């Protein structure tokens, strides 16, 4: 992970076990692993800018039942996507919780109800 200056806000990134296993299965230097590493660095520094905000009317019912305050999506290589939520602390730091990992754009579009 990258070093942070004291003025930079730091966010902890948490991921589902399945995503962690998938990541561990990737080879060093593999394009997807590099893409995930780059995204995690962005999420640790500025999660609200790392992805696109998803309006609540586009959330899947499953997400609405989770009582989330916000949902963002971020693009990875080869059409893969993640969805995540950000929980902010008063000091500007917080937690980024990855909700879902979609290996293809089609999987993402299906979950969010877009025409595929």
Residue 2 lies in a domain: no
Enumerate residues 6+ apart whose C-beta is below 8 A from 56. Answer: 64, 71
Answer yes or no: is 100 within a domain. Answer: yes
Residue numbers of the domain that contains 43: 12-111
pTM of the model: 0.88
pLDDT at 115 over 90: no
In the block, tokens 């942070």 appear at: 4
Q: What is the pLDDT of residues 14-71, one digit of tens each?
A: 999 999 999 999 999 999 999 999 999 999 999 999 999 999 999 999 999 999 999 9
d(C-alpha 70, C-alpha 102), whole Å: 18
Length of the chain equals 116
**Residue 51 parent element (H or E):** none
Number of domains in the chain: 1
The residue whose two tokens read 């877009």 is 114
């Amino acid at each position: 992970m990258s070093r942070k200056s004291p003025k930079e806000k730091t966010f902890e990134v948490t991921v589902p076990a399945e995503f962690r296993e998938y990541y561990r299965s990737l080879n060093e230097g593999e394009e997807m692993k590099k893409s995930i590493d780059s995204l995690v660095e962005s999420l640790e520094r500025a999660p609200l800018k790392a992805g696109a905000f998803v309006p609540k009317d586009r959330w899947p019912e499953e997400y609405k039942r989770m009582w989330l305050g916000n949902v963002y999506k971020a693009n990875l290589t080869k059409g893969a996507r993640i969805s995540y939520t950000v929980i902010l602390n008063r000091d500007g730091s917080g937690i980024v919780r990855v909700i879902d990992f979609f290996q293809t754009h089609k999987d993402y579009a299906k979950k969010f109800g877009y025409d595929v």
